[in-house]
Amino acid sequence: MNILRLAFAAAVALTAPVIVAQNNIAEEVAWMVGDQPIYKSEIEEAYQQALYEHTQLNGDPYCIIPENLAIEKLYLHQADIDTVEVTPSQVAAAVEQRLNYFITNLGTKEKVEEYFRKSIPEFREQMTEVMRNQYRIQDVQRSLTKDVKVTPSDVRKYFTTLPEDSIPFVPLKVEVQILTLNPAIPREEIENVKARLRDYTDRVNKGESDFSTLAILYSEDPGSQPRGGELGFFGRGHLEPEYAAAAFNLSDPKKVSKIVETQYGYHIIQLIEKRGDRVNTRHILLRPHVSEEDLTKSIARLDSVKNDISEGKFTFEEIVPYVSQDKDSRANKGIMVNNEDGSGTTMWEMQQLPQEIAKVVGNMQLGDISEPFVMMDPKRNREMVAMVKLTSRLEGHKANLSDDYQLIKGMYENAQKAEILKKWLAKKISETYIKIEDGWADCNFQHDGWIKKQ
């Protein structure tokens, strides 16, 4: 069990409508956990959600889903005892992220409303409670497992007892140094972008064009462009500072902001709605593009640098601080740091690397320096020129203590925490009144004790 993940049903039912006593017809109860019912409609809706998200159910869904809903209720009961609360802003940010996920995948807000048979405000209200519960459960799980301590001796002993088929396969990993150049964008290109945005602004303010239509036609933000530029509700901390300053300063939904520059390009913004410390806006993003001539000049410059390295005038590591324009790596001899999992390791799986780098590195030998190549800056979404050196290559292999200690340590920690939670659940189940209605009890449950002896 992953202790930072809710019981399955809590995840798959994030937006599942619970229909209770519609048309004066009493809802059918499948389980009772303490004084909390689990309704048949909850189970059905969670099942539909699982199908929509292609969630793998290893067994009968009408056994798996209600059991996990019951586990959720046990954790929430403990959260009530411990008076666990979460900050509204944390919940609100998670709700908007979830809502934006569905809008992106279904296409429009209207399609989301049609699919879930709820208005967006109803949908948001329901998700708020579900996400609040999710964070409360995670807090209880962390509290129950906070005293887990792991020593190197524990990790070694754990690894030696792992069955052969339980030792994970670690894919190819590489360590890469990078040197980048960001070609200057001509002033003429920037002015052209601003002129286009001013034209869009005039057309909207005069009522000649709809902002969302222009966003669909012209915006270069792939995430919001299909939704007419709409971002969803975000607080200041989740927006670029320049964007947030302009967005929170807007008051008239019919007007358009002045042009705003961020690291991603140039924006115009329209207010949709403010709600407390969050704002929902739509925007049009245009990016000035680097000219082919300037890209060619940057490639030539890096070609010259590579020749100097080959002639022994300096090493790749020595030249990076003086030439590279990548702020994240130039003070670290160009070594790219992988923060995908929060560990800050310098090793990357190939699929974690930007695709242009992965394509180049895949054909390199240890110590090779690539030819200069053009790639998209993943932060600024604009063209840049790069050159990389392959400094370490760890072939795909079964995990071992020498190369993969942190991975195995994490596995051991998770196993210890899962065992603590399993024992806690067994005790909680034994102490709680539980009644499973006829037709819902013929299951091979993950946990014992649900069916009480008469």
Q: Is the pTM of this model over 0.75?
A: no
What average pLDDT does the segment 307-316 reach? 96
Are residue 143 and residue 274 in the same domain, yes or no? no
pLDDT of residue 8: 34
Structural domain count of the chain: 3
Q: Are residues 127 and 145 in the same domain?
A: yes
CA angle in degrees (0–180, nearest 5) for 247-250-252: 140
Q: What is the mean pLDDT of residues 146-175?
A: 94
Do residues 118 and 249 both lie within one domain?
no
Which pLDDT band holds residue 53 (cuts at 50, 70, 90)? confident
Is there a single domain that holds both residue 139 and residue 242? no
Specify which residues 235 forms β-bridges with.
278
Instruction: Provide the pLDDT for residue 360.
Output: 95
Q: In terms of Cα–Cα distance, which of 17, 20, 6, 8 is closest to 94?
A: 6
Buried b / exposed e over 84-108, threshold 16 CB at 10 Å, is bebeeeebbbbbbebbbebbeebee
Query: What CATH number does the domain containing 282 carry?
Result: 3.10.50.40
Mean pLDDT of 1-6: 36
Looking at the fold, whether 63 and 103 belong to one and the same domain comes out as yes
Residues 12 and 146 in one domain: yes
In a domain? residue 328: yes
Kindly indicate the confidence band of residue 400, based on its pLDDT and cuts at 50, 70 and 90: very high
Q: Is residue 358 part of a domain?
A: yes
Final residue before a domain boundary, out of 240, 264, 286: 286
For residues 179 and 198, membership in a common domain is answered with no
**Structure confidence by residue, pLDDT tens digits, 166-222:** 999 999 999 999 999 999 888 999 999 999 999 999 999 999 999 999 999 999 988
Please give the mean pLDDT across all residues of the chain: 88
> Does residue 218 lie within any of the structural domains?
yes
Average pLDDT over residues 277-281: 89
Q: Which residue has the higher pLDDT, 87 or 215?
A: 215
Question: Distance (Å, rounded) from C-alpha 214 to C-alpha 93?
Answer: 27
Q: Are residues 55 and 125 in the same domain?
A: yes
pLDDT of residue 336: 94
442 occurs within a structural domain: no
Does 295 share its domain with 346?
yes
More confident residue, 453 or 396: 396
pLDDT tens for 425-443 read: 999 999 999 999 998 999 9
- Whether pLDDT at 345 is above 80: yes
Tell me the DSSP string of 82-98: TT----HHHHHHHHHHH
**Quick one: 227 and 341 in the same domain?**
no
Domain holding 109, by residue range, is 8-150+409-436
Is pLDDT of 275 > 80? yes
Residue 182: closest CA among 27, 322, 382, 17: 382
Is 305 within a domain? yes
Banded pLDDT at 69 (limits 50, 70, 90):
very high
Which segment of 93-102, 185-194, 252-261 scores lowest on mean pLDDT? Answer: 93-102
Do residues 180 and 320 both lie within one domain? yes
